[in-house]
């Protein structure tokens, strides 16, 4: 994808009346623009790192494209930018329509008994396709209006030519389990059932 230069003035104009969806100690990094698209900023935090050769923004774009090729619903990239500030890039994209599993699980009447099989199916298919998604958690899995599951926030992902090894599958589930613990969802989410269905299967 072609990369465009985005001036500071153009950036300020783009984010007028935008909603800040995510921020860190460096400032806002994800905006929902007035037209509904998302602008995600990427900062290279160390002068010398692997991001110097392959920026996280480029990984984000490449991963979204790979997922689409595999038939996994995900966001649609619109534009790729370099910013005036050294080490900064940005991606403008159309968000994946729907709600995350984390959002849906907070609603009255939600049942993991009904939703778990689809989640297991998604993760199993990712593992079979050689996709190792380190940020796999309920906040990054979207239920689309077509009632299919898709992925967002896809920068931290690796693609292998063969299905994931048992060791990688276990590591992936461990990342997921740490999220469940961090969000205090141990009493709500049937983690044991998920692990039983995915490990050594």
Structure pTM? 0.89
Q: Is the Cβ–Cβ distance between 56 and 42 less than 8 Å?
A: yes
pLDDT digits (tens, 9 = 90+) for 162-200: 999 999 999 999 999 999 999 999 999 999 999 999 986
> Is residue 107 located within the same domain as residue 187?
yes
Domain boundary among 64, 79, 94: 94
> Is residue 85 located within the same domain as residue 109?
no
> Is residue 90 located within the same domain as residue 108?
no
Strands (E), 44-119: 76-83, 88-94, 99-100
The answer on pLDDT for 36 being more than 90 is yes
> Is residue 82 located within the same domain as residue 137?
no
> Is residue 160 located within the same domain as residue 174?
yes
Which residues span the domain enclosing 73? 3-94
Look at residues 131, 43, 38, 45 and name the one whose alpha carbon lies nearest to residue 91.
38
> Is residue 184 located within the same domain as residue 105?
yes
Domain boundary among 72, 94, 116: 94
Domain CATH code at residue 58: 3.30.200
The answer on pLDDT for 45 being more than 90 is no
Domain CATH code at residue 125: 1.10.510.10
> For residues 94 and 39, what is the distance between their CA atoms, to the nearest angstrom?
9
Domain count within the chain: 2
Q: Mean pLDDT, to the nearest integer, of 156-164?
A: 96
> Is residue 160 located within the same domain as residue 115?
yes
The answer on pLDDT for 69 being more than 90 is yes
> Is residue 51 located within the same domain as residue 114?
no
What is the average pLDDT value for the chain, to the nearest integer? Answer: 93
Q: Mean pLDDT, to the nearest integer, of 66-85?
A: 96
pLDDT cut 70: percent of the chain above it = 94
Q: Mean pLDDT, to the nearest integer, of 60-86?
A: 96
> Is residue 138 located within the same domain as residue 184?
yes
pLDDT at 201: 65
> Is residue 170 located within the same domain as residue 85?
no
pLDDT digits (tens, 9 = 90+) for 116-149: 999 999 999 999 999 999 999 999 999 999 999 9
Residues facing 92 on adjacent strands: 39, 79
> For residues 140 and 3, what is the distance between their CA atoms, to the nearest angstrom?
26
> For residues 79 and 40, what is the distance between their CA atoms, to the nearest angstrom?
11
pLDDT digits (tens, 9 = 90+) for 46-64: 544 444 456 889 999 999 9
Q: Mean pLDDT, to the nearest integer, of 2-9?
A: 93
> Is residue 86 located within the same domain as residue 109?
no
> Is residue 7 located within the same domain as residue 88?
yes
pLDDT at 55: 81
Q: Is 49 helix (H, G, I), strand (E, B) or coil?
A: coil
Domain boundary among 94, 117, 152: 94
């Amino acid at each position: 994808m072609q990369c465009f230069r985005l001036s500071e003035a153009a950036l300020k104009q783009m984010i007028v009346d935008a909603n800040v969806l995510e921020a860190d100690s460096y400032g806002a990094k994800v905006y929902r623009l007035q037209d509904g698209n998302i602008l995600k900023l990427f900062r290279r935090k160390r002068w010398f790192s692997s991001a110097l050769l392959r920026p996280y923004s480029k990984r984000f774009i490449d991963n979204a494209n790979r997922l689409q090729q595999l038939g996994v619903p995900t966001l649609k990239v619109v534009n790729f930018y370099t910013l005036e500030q050294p080490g900064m890039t940005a991606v403008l994209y159309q968000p994946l329509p729907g709600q995350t599993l984390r959002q849906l699980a907070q609603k009255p009447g939600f049942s993991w008994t009904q939703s778990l099989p689809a989640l297991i199916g998604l993760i199993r298919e990712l593992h079979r396709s050689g996709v190792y998604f380190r940020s796999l958690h309920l906040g990054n899995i979207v239920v689309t209006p077509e009632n299919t599951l898709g992925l967002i926030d896809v920068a931290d992902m690796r693609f292998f030519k063969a299905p994931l090894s048992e060791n990688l599958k276990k590591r992936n589930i461990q990342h997921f389990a740490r999220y469940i613990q961090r969000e205090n969802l141990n009493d709500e989410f049937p983690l044991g059932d998920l692990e039983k269905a995915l490990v050594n299967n």
